[in-house]
Amino acid sequence: MNDLIKSIRTRSIIEKYGFRFNKSLGQNFLIDDLVLKTIIEAAEITKDDSVLEIGPGIGTLTLELSGNAGKVMAIEVDKNLIPILSDVLKDAGNVKLYEGDALKVNIKEAAGDFLNFPITICANLPYYITTPLITKFFKESIDVKNIVVMVQKEVAERMAAQPGGKDYGALSLLVQYYSKPRIVAKVPPHCFMPRPKVDSVVIKLEINKRPPVEVEDLELFFSIIRDSFNQRRKTLSNSLKSLKLSKEELNTAFEKSGIDPIRRGETLSIEEFARVSNEVYNLRK
76 appears as a binding residue in the annotation: yes
- C-alpha 274/C-alpha 67 separation (Å) is 43
| Whether 110 contacts 100, CB under 8 Å | yes
Separation of first and last alpha carbons in the chain: 63
Q: E strands along 71-222, which residues?
A: 71-76, 95-99, 119-124, 144-152, 179-187, 192-193, 200-207
Cα 104 off chain centre by = 15
283 appears as a binding residue in the annotation: no
124 appears as a binding residue in the annotation: yes
208 appears as a binding residue in the annotation: no
Query: How many C-beta atoms lie closer than 10 Å to residue 251's C-beta?
Result: 13
Burial class (CB in 10 A: 0-12, 13-18, 19+), 271: exposed
70 appears as a binding residue in the annotation: no
85 appears as a binding residue in the annotation: no
Binding residues for S-adenosyl-L-methionine: 28, 30, 55, 76, 101, 124
Binding-site annotation, residues: 28, 30, 55, 76, 101, 124
